[in-house]
Amino acid sequence: MSDVLLEARDLQKRFVTGGGLLQKATTIHAVNGVNLRIRRGETFAIVGESGCGKSTLARLLLRLIEPSGGSVHYDGRELTGLGAGAMRALRAEMQFIFQDPFSSLNPRMTVERIVGEPLRLHRGLSGGALRARVAELLRRVGLRPEHADRYPHEFSGGQRQRICIARALASEPKLLVGDEPVSALDVSVQAQIVNLLEDLKRDLGLTLVVIAHDLAVIRHMADRVAVMYLGEVVELAETEALFTAPRHPYTRALLRAIPVPDPGARGATEGVLGGDLPSPAAPPPGCRFHTRCPFATEICATTPPVLTEAGGARVACHHWTRLPAPEISALVARTRSPAAEARFALWRAATAKSHDPNHNRETAP
């Protein structure tokens, strides 16, 4: 069995918008030639500024949308060529968790119907067996069996995300893809959901793909990270390597943009990323980052760099070997601050003390 669960090969997505009477159609290159291999059992994170194509890439990976080019391979099978029947069977193994749990839950359905639907469809359960399995899943995500009779509006944001996770678990997935699964939640609740996902990953042997803009969350959760800029992966590295030895100027700029917990950690010479993200309808030629890069030279404006091996990581930059060393200690301090770690450690300590499943629960409404 290959250790690669999910692979993207030269994956592309273009959206055509406009094109009315008075308007010219524009083509948005949302994902532009992405190559990735996600290993079984790892937590793989995707980061980058708003609009860089993270959600589009995640949807392509699960074939929730069709690519404009390239292919996706899941467990050795090419998804892009599968018919509806074969895709339906595989879909149970690949579940998506959205940013906003409220809009992804039908307000007119009870929690039992929401969580029970995949059990009926994929497992053929009904009656008492179905109810028992729903109760088990609710407990698994830190809710109570009696929550099954309530409706989504009766829950807090964190609890709703737990309902979404229970629904995803109902089809016994191998792969969970979370698109900003905690960013709509209160900070105090975020750590609980992050820890729940980590526990589920460990206990059920899941592979996780997580999109998050909070780099402290990524540093805490991820084994490897892909950094995206304007539809392309510019750096792909093990999490520790990415945070302690970022290679791409854009990765360095992203790390610099993290709020500084300790003013003494300041001292940037490259400065925080300036300028706006160029429009994906008219991406700059050459290296797409060259218009904002402090190290750009002539070649960057004309020749797109290829994502290549870079000391254990992969980076797409003409100059990465010649760049001055980033101020690592300052960068590290920002994601390893006591405040960032405490968010996760507090709740973890509470669960470690007791294996009572109720510990994984918020106050009932």
Using CB under 5 A as the binding rule, whether residue 192 contacts Mg ion is answered as no
Nearer to ligand ATP, 52 or 184 (CB): 52
Nearer to ligand ATP, 17 or 321 (CB): 17
Amino acid in the structure at residue 142: G
Q: How far apart are CA 35 and CA 47, in angstroms?
A: 15
Entry field: residues in the chain? 365
| Structure tokens, 271 | 């400065």
Using CB under 5 A as the binding rule, whether residue 55 contacts Mg ion is answered as yes
| Structure tokens, 19 | 């094109």
- Considering only the stretches 49-57, 197-205, 321-329, 335-343, report the one whose residues sit in contact with Mg ion under the rule CB under 5 A: 49-57
Amino acid in the structure at residue 106: N
Using CB under 6 A as the binding rule, whether residue 15 contacts ligand ATP is answered as yes
Q: Which H helix or E strand runs over 134?
A: helix 127-140
Residue window 272-291: x/- pattern of binding to ligand ATP, with contact defined by CB under 6 A: --------x-----------
Within 8 A by CB and 6+ apart from 92, the residues are: 118, 122, 171, 172, 173
92: closest CA among 165, 172, 5, 207? 172
Q: Helix 111-123 to helix 127-140 angle, to the nearest 10 degrees?
A: 120
Residue 50 near which of ligand ATP, Mg ion, none (CB within 5-8 Å, type-dependent): ligand ATP
Considering the complex, what minimum distance in angstroms separates the CB of residue 99 from ligand ATP?
8
Q: Contact, 67 vs 92, CB < 8 A?
A: no
Using CB under 6 A as the binding rule, whether residue 28 contacts ligand ATP is answered as yes
Q: Three-state DSSP class for 343?
A: helix
Using CB under 5 A as the binding rule, whether residue 190 contacts Mg ion is answered as no
Contacts to ligand ATP from residues 111-170, by CB under 6 A: none
Using CB under 6 A as the binding rule, whether residue 254 contacts ligand ATP is answered as no
Residue 207 near which of ligand ATP, Mg ion, none (CB within 5-8 Å, type-dependent): none
DSSP 42: -
Q: Contact, 47 vs 179, CB < 8 A?
A: no
Residue 51 near which of ligand ATP, Mg ion, none (CB within 5-8 Å, type-dependent): ligand ATP
Contacts to ligand ATP from residues 41-80, by CB under 6 A: 48, 50-56
Considering the complex, what minimum distance in angstroms separates the CB of residue 292 from ligand ATP?
16
Using CB under 6 A as the binding rule, whether residue 17 contacts ligand ATP is answered as yes
Q: Contact, 141 vs 167, CB < 8 A?
A: no
Q: How many residues bind Mg ion (CB under 5 A)?
A: 1
Q: Contact, 158 vs 363, CB < 8 A?
A: no
Using CB under 5 A as the binding rule, whether residue 32 contacts Mg ion is answered as no
Choose which of 5, 6, 30, 206 interacts with ligand ATP (CB under 6 A): 30
Summarize as ranges the residues that interact with Mg ion (CB under 5 A). 55
Summarize as ranges the residues that interact with ligand ATP (CB under 6 A). 15, 17, 28, 30, 48, 50-56, 280
